[in-house]
Amino acid sequence: MKINLNYTNLTKHYVNGDWVKPISSKKFEVLNPATEELVGHIILGNAEDVDRAVDFANKAFRDFSSTSKSERLSLLKKLREITEKRFDELAYAMTVEMGAPITMAKDAQADAALGHLDGFIHALEDLKEHEILKNGDEIVREPIGVCGLITPWNWPINQIALKVIPALATGCTCILKPSEHTPISAMIYAEIIHEAGYPSGVFNLVHGDGPEVGSGLSKHPDIQMMSFTGSTRAGREVTCDSAETVKRVTLELGGKSPNIVFSDSNLVTRITESVEECMFNTGQSCDAPTRMLIESNCYDEALKIAKNAAENISVGDPQTDGTHIGPLLTKFSMTGSKK
C-alpha cells in the first residue's frame, strides 16, 4: 500500500488556526526507519515559538472555556467525521515515520484515534458539569486552562488522541509537542482539527525537542496543566519543571511488565501469546510484557516454547499487508535492544 502524502505543512507549526513559519531555524531530519531514506525535515521550535503558541492558546481559552457542552460535542463529532475520512493517511503516515506495518497501523494505531473519540464523546454526553449532592454540596466541573501535551513516537496518534481530545472536550486549549521522530501523523491530525472547525488558538502544534520545547512548556507560567507520555527520566524533568509554577501533571512512563506463569497453566497458549504481545509494535510499547517469571519446575519447557514462538515471528516490509513486524525506530533503538 502506498499513499502520496502532502508534506507542505511539515516544516511549519500550527498556531492560532494557521500554518506559520517557526521563529527557530533549527532543522531535524525525518527518516523512514525501514529504508533510512530522508522523508523531509521539521523545524525544532525554541522558547519564542513556545511563547507565541501559549499566548494564542491563553487568549483563545477565554471564549472556548465558555462554550456549551453541546457545542463541544458538535465539534467532536465533526472531528470524528474528518478523522474517518483521513484514516488511511494517518495509518500510512505512521508506516512511513516509525515503520509500523500497514495492517497494524490501521487496525491498532490509527483505529485508536476513532476508538478514543467515541469514548470521549460518550463520556462528555454523560458528564454532569454542575452537580448538587444529597447533602447540598455542589460540584462544578470546569476547564483547567491551557494544557501542554507531550507525546511519544511509539504510539503517535493513540497518545495524541488521548491528550488532545479530552482537552478539547472539556473546554481547554492546548499546545501539542509530538515526538520529533513522528511529526507526519501529528501534522495530519492538526489538519484534521483545522478542518473540523475548531476556533483559532484552541489547538496549537509546535515541533521541538524535550530540552527546549518540552521544558519551555513545563516551565511556562501561563500553562495550567502538563500531560506527558515518555521515558521515566523525561517524566521526572517534566515534574520538576512543572513544580516551579505548581501545575497539575499527569504522567505515563516506561515499564518493564512481568508475566507470571505457573506450571498448571496452558504453557503453549500463555507463553506464545506473551511472546507475540511482547513483539507487537516491534517491542516498542511501554506495556510490552518483556519479562516472564516462570515456576521453576516448568522453566525448561517454557524456554523452548518461547524460543519457538519468537522464531515464528517474521520481519517484513511495513508497506506490505500482513502480521509481520517492522523495523526498530533508530539505530540507537537497535543498539539498546541488543543489550
Q: How many CB atoms lie within 10 A of CB 311?
A: 9
CB 315 within 8 A of CB 324: yes
For residues 81 and 91, give the distance between their C-alpha atoms in angstroms, rounded to a whole number. 16
All three cell numbers of 263, joined, read 506450571
For 54, 93, 154, 236, the CA distances from 230, given in Å and listed in that order, are: 22, 20, 9, 10
Residue with C-alpha cell 524460543? 307
Q: How far is CA 314 from the centre of its chain?
A: 26
**Selected catalytic residue, list 286, 295, 298, 301:** 286
Q: How many CA atoms does the CB half-sphere of 136 hold within 13 Å?
A: 0
User: Computed from CA positions of residues 142, 143, 144, 145, in that sequence, does the dihedral angle turn out positive or negative?
Assistant: negative
Q: Which residues of 90-109 are buried (b: 16+ CB within 10 A; e: fewer)?
A: bbbbbbbbbbbbbbbbbebb
C-alpha 120/C-alpha 114 separation (Å) is 10
Name every residue whose Cβ is closer than 8 Å to that of residue 213 and which is 6 or more positions away in sequence: 44, 45, 46, 49, 50, 177, 206, 207
Opening angle at CA 31, ends 83 and 331, nearest 5: 120
Amino acid symbol at 19: W
Separation between Cα atoms, residue 9 and residue 154, nearest integer Å: 22
63, 41, 52, 67: which is closest to 16 by C-alpha? 52
Q: What is the pLDDT of residue 254?
A: 86
What distances in angstroms separate CA 178 from CA 13, 77, 294, one per listed residue? 11, 23, 38
pLDDT score recorded for residue 2: 83
d(CA 96, CA 273): 27
C-alpha cell at 150: 507531550
Question: Of the CATH numbers 3.40.605.10, 3.10.450.30, 3.30.1450.10, 3.30.540.10, which one belongs to the domain with range 13-252?
Answer: 3.40.605.10
How high is the mean pLDDT in each 10-residue block of the chain (339 residues)?
Answer: 90 99 98 96 98 99 98 99 98 97 96 97 96 93 98 97 98 99 98 99 98 98 98 96 97 89 94 93 88 94 95 94 91 66
Distance CA 207, CA 216 (A): 12
Q: What does each C-alpha distance from 304 to 247, 268, 311 come to in angstroms?
A: 50, 10, 11
> Residue 150 carries which side chain, given as an amino acid letter?
I
Exactly one of 195, 237, 252, 273 is catalytic; name it. 252
Dihedral of CA 184/115/256/228: which sign? Answer: positive
CB 206 within 8 A of CB 19: no
**195 carries an active-site annotation:** no
pLDDT at 338: 61
171: helix, coil or strand? Answer: coil
Enumerate the CATH 3.40.605.10 domain ranges in the chain, comma separated. 13-252
Round to whole Å and give the CA distance between 89 and 138.
45
pLDDT the model gives residue 255? 82
Res 43: pLDDT: 98
For residue 336, the model assigns a pLDDT of 63
**Catalytic residue list contains 298:** no
Closest CA to 42 of 7, 18, 86: 7
3-state secondary structure of 40: strand
Predicted local distance difference test score (pLDDT) of residue 174: 99
